[in-house]
Structure formats: C-alpha cells, structure tokens
C-alpha cells in the first residue's frame, strides 16, 4: 500500500493524551520503557504519562485529605521519614492498596516525637500495643521516652510482638506506634539509627520500595515487576516465612538464590560482585511533584541526595542458606544522621575520616560521602587483573548455557553456587600461577535433566609441581595433580 508523504498515516505517538494513557497504562513497566526509546516524542509521552499516573496522593488519600497530605509531605521534607512496605509497593503497581494494609512510616527515633504530634493533630488516636509479650504505656510520649532510654539489647528481646507484615524481626527498630482514625491504621516505626537500615533488613526484596519527599524508589524493579520474584533476605538468619507467604499469595515467587549468570554478571541487580545504592541505574526512581506552592530548602533531612548515599551489597551463602543484604551503619555526628555503607567502605570512612575543614561544612561533608559512594559502587571485586579475568571467563561461559540448552527449565540450570565455585577455582589458578594454564568451562546434562558445570585445566609440564597444591573451596576439596590418562583436569559441580 502506497503512503502519501504529505498525509502519512497516524502512529501511536500521534494519539491524544487520554488515549495514550489507556495504551501506556496497559503496558508492563519494561515495555513502557522500551516504547519510550522509540522516539523523542514517545519519550516525552511516557514522561508525561508517568507524571499523571504516579502521584503520591493516590496512596496517601486513603489516610489523609489533600491539605493533610500537603502538611505531611512538608514535614517529610524537614525530618526525612520514609513511607515503605506494601503501601509503597502499591504506588509502583498502581493497584489499590491491599486490604487491611497499614501506612508504614519509618522515622529516626530522635525525630519521632514531631511525627507523633503531627498525627495526633490530624485526629489520629494512639492505640498502645498490649500483648502477652509487650505492654506499651497509654501515654504515647511516655512510650517514646521508654524507647529512647531502652538499650537495643533490651528491645531485641521483645521483637516477637511486632505485627506488621514487613518487619516481623528487625534489629534496627526501636519502637512501633499504632494510630487509628476512621478505621484507617498508621504504624510509625521508630528506627534506632536510620530508616534505610530497617528497609534493607526487610524479609525479601519485593517490599524494598520507599517513598521519600521528592522521589519514590523501587530497589529491585526487575525482580519485582519483570520476573515476579522476591529474593529472601536473611540479614539476621531470621525466619519470616509468614511475611513472605503473604507475597506468595499475591503472585510473587519467593526464591533463595538466583541463576549463576545473574549473580556473577556486572550490572545485574542481584550481582554479588557489585554494590548498589539508592537511586542507582538498577533502581526504578520516580520524581514526585512538590506539594502546592512549597519551596524546599537545602540540607534538610528529607533531601533526596542524602538518601542516595545509602549503599549495600548482597552476600550469598553457598551452604544453601538464603542471601543477605550486607552493610554497616555509620553515624555521622556532624550531620546528625546515619548512613548504610558496604563493609569495606564503612571501615575506610571509620579509619580515614574526613579533614576537619570538611567535617565542619555539612555541604562539603555530604558531597565527600557521596563521592566515596560513587567511587565504591563500581564493581566490588578488586581491579586485580587475575580476578577480573576469572570473572569474565566464567561469565562468558555461563552466558552460553541458555543458548546451548534452550528447553531446560530455569530450576535445572547451573545455580549461582556452581558459578561461584567455578569463579573461585579459576581465580585461584590465575592468582597463583605466573603463567596461567589454559582453562575452559563447559556444561553437560545428566539423565535427570540438570546441567552440570565442567572446568578443564590443560596441563603444562613445567608447572606440574605447582599443581600438587590443594585448593579448598567452601565444602569442596579439589586436588590438582599431574596428568592421569589425558591432558585435562576436570571437575563437576552441581
């Protein structure tokens, strides 16, 4: 069919906004982002749709009217509390808040009194928790005073009383306050150091969503919305199956590991080689409109730049236990804030600190912290060529598995543990030999359909004395010896 260049047929990008909204709303998030790359006009249309579709008022109107929301968000800008859990998840899904869900607000315990007073001023009534394990005072401020004076060890002994769906067991919590108005419930979670510490200790990744003053962030959008999985988090080896079960019933698959390629590849949201930080390229970050005519000021606790400093990594346990998000919490007295940092960066800041001139200038101190995080969130493995070469060799090999075995179900592909053992084996060889041997990685399928990993190391006679060494890899002991009946050494790891 001929197309008149002077009267081309209309395309999707020529649709009116109302029709566009219906079309874009029907797309999964990843397809919407793909469509945005079609053209400049498509990008602008998707941006405009997101501004209309993702409004924080849609999840807050269940608990406040419009003027109350405005005051709520201005207070959020001042003291930096965060809305998280299932309500924040609903913001990203654009689905109604789950029935019987609460509004969970996470706040530094030292700023908690301001938030408690605000809720009371809006007509919310404090309901003390009275159970067999816990009896709160009927005076909310006395309960807060007791929380401030109580040691964290004393609090940990009472963790069993928590009834919220996200924080069954969390060491970063100092106290929980329940408020009710017209059948709607708000839980204020007073955090011992920082709300991010508590959020990064949630039972699994699906609820690691946060609504700050100026931005909403989903930390694991690919896992949550593309793969429909939630990775269990065993930060304190805690058992939170009841909490995870709720999300199984809501359609997510709970997993305790990831496939080898996703865990080993740089840039993967679940890579154990990479550090992450709030707002990085693997997050889904949505800017939020300012409330009314409010003009925000600089260097407040609710400044999103502060939030983006928080960083972490993932540690996978190769003995079959669940993974855990790993970080330490750093208290910065000059800023009256705490920050979650990966262990090696935490120890660097503790050891080296900042010059006095920087510490005395909050803006420079924040910039310095942010620069350190930006530098260290690059691949966590050392720049040592032998380690990077080992990772690349293993990743390139595992990248071919799906092509070689296209019909094998995901659960029968090599698990991350196999990839990790392969990486450690190859890395050890490359680190200990001046002239590395020829190493190849292949795969074979057993009679049950599982894919096994095969590492072949070609013998070089001049290095046979080195191959007498033994390498202990976790529970695996591999003995490297001289050639026996062939020129290759091979090991199989499931």
pLDDT tens, residue order, the chain (494 aa): 444 555 555 566 666 666 777 888 888 888 888 888 888 888 888 888 888 889 999 999 999 999 999 999 999 999 999 999 999 999 999 888 777 789 999 999 999 999 999 999 999 999 999 988 889 999 999 999 999 987 555 545 444 334 444 444 567 899 999 999 999 999 999 999 999 999 999 999 999 999 999 999 999 999 999 999 999 888 765 667 778 888 888 889 888 888 888 888 888 888 888 899 999 999 999 999 988 777 777 768 888 989 999 999 998 876 555 788 999 999 998 888 999 999 989 998 888 888 888 888 888 999 999 998 988 876 544 455 777 888 889 999 998 998 899 998 888 888 888 888 888 888 888 887 777 778 889 898 989 999 888 888 875 545 444 444 433 333 333 333 333 322 233 443 43
Task: Look at the block and give the residue holding tokens 């397809």.
Answer: 31
Record the pTM.
0.83
Output the pLDDT for position 320.
55
- For the record, the structure tokens of 214 come out as 């100026």
What pLDDT does residue 221 have?
A: 94
Strand order in the sheet with 439-445: 439-445, 451-458, 488-493
Residue 319: per-residue pLDDT? 59
**pLDDT for 296:** 73
pLDDT in the model for residue 38: 85
Burial 218-244 (b: 16+ CB within 10 A, else e): bbbbbbbbebebbbbbbbeebebeebb
Q: What is the pLDDT of residue 463?
A: 46
| Cα–Cα dist 232/255, whole Å | 6
Looking at residue 339, its pLDDT comes to 95
Query: Tell me, what's the pLDDT at 264?
Result: 84
User: What was the pLDDT predicted at 206?
Assistant: 94
Tell me the DSSP string of 224-260: IIIS-EEEB--TT----HHHHHHHHHTTPEEES--BH
Cα dist. 5→15, 38, 258, 259 in Å? Answer: 19, 20, 51, 50
Q: Do residues 2 and 10 lie in contact, with contact meaning Cβ atoms separated by under 8 Å?
A: no
For residue 237, the model assigns a pLDDT of: 52
Is the Cβ–Cβ distance between 212 and 303 less than 8 Å? Answer: no
| pLDDT at site 16 | 66
Helix-then-strand count for the chain, H and E: 20, 20
């Amino acid at each position: 069919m001929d197309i008149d260049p002077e009267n081309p047929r209309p395309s999707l990008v020529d649709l009116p906004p109302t029709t566009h909204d219906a079309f874009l709303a029907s797309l999964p998030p990843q397809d919407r982002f793909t469509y945005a790359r079609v053209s400049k006009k498509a990008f602008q249309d998707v941006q405009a749709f997101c501004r209309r579709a993702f409004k924080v008022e849609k999840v807050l109107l269940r608990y406040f009217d419009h003027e109350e929301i405005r005051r709520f968000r201005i207070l959020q800008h001042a003291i930096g509390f965060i809305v998280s859990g299932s309500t924040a998840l609903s913001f990203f899904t654009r689905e109604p808040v789950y029935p019987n869900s609460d509004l969970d607000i996470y706040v530094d315990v030292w700023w908690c009194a301001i938030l408690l007073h605000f809720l009371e001023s809006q007509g919310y009534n404090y309901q003390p928790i009275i159970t067999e394990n816990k009896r709160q005072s009927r005076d909310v401020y006395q309960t807060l005073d007791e929380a401030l004076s109580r040691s964290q060890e004393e609090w940990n002994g009472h963790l069993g009383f928590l009834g919220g769906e996200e924080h069954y067991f969390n060491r970063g919590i100092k106290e929980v306050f329940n408020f009710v108005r017209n059948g709607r419930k708000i839980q204020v979670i007073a955090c011992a150091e920082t709300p991010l510490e508590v959020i990064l200790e949630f039972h699994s990744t699906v609820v690691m969503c946060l609504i700050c003053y100026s931005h909403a962030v989903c930390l694991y959008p690919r896992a949550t919305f593309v793969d429909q999985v939630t990775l269990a988090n065993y930060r304190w080896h805690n058992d939170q199956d009841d909490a995870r079960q709720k999300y199984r019933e809501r359609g997510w698959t709970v997993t305790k590991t990831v496939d080898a390629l996703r865990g080993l590849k740089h840039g993967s949201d679940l890579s154990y080689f990479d550090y992450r930080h709030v707002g990085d390229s693997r997050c889904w970050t949505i800017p939020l409109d300012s409330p009314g005519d409010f003009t925000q000021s600089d260097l407040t606790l609710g400044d999103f730049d502060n939030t983006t400093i928080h960083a972490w990594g993932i540690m996978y346990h190769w003995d079959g236990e669940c993974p855990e998000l790993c970080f330490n919490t750093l208290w910065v007295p000059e800023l009256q804030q705490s920050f979650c940092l990966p262990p090696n960066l935490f120890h660097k800041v503790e050891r080296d600190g900042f010059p006095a001139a920087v510490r005395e200038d909050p803006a420079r101190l924040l910039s310095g912290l942010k620069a350190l995080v930006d530098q260290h969130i690059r691949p966590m493995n050392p720049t040592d060529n032998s380690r990077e070469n080992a990772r690349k060799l293993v990743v390139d090999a595992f990248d071919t598995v799906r092509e070689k075995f296209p019909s094998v179900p995901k659960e029968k592909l090599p698990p991350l543990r196999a990839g990790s053992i392969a990486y450690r084996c190859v890395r050890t060889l490359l680190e200990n030999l001046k002239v590395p041997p020829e190493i190849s990685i292949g795969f074979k399928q057993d009679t049950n359909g599982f894919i096994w990993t095969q590492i072949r190391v070609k013998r070089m006679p001049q290095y046979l004395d080195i191959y007498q060494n033994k390498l202990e890899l976790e529970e695996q002991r591999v003995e490297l010896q001289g050639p026996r009946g062939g020129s290759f050494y091979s090991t199989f790891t499931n």
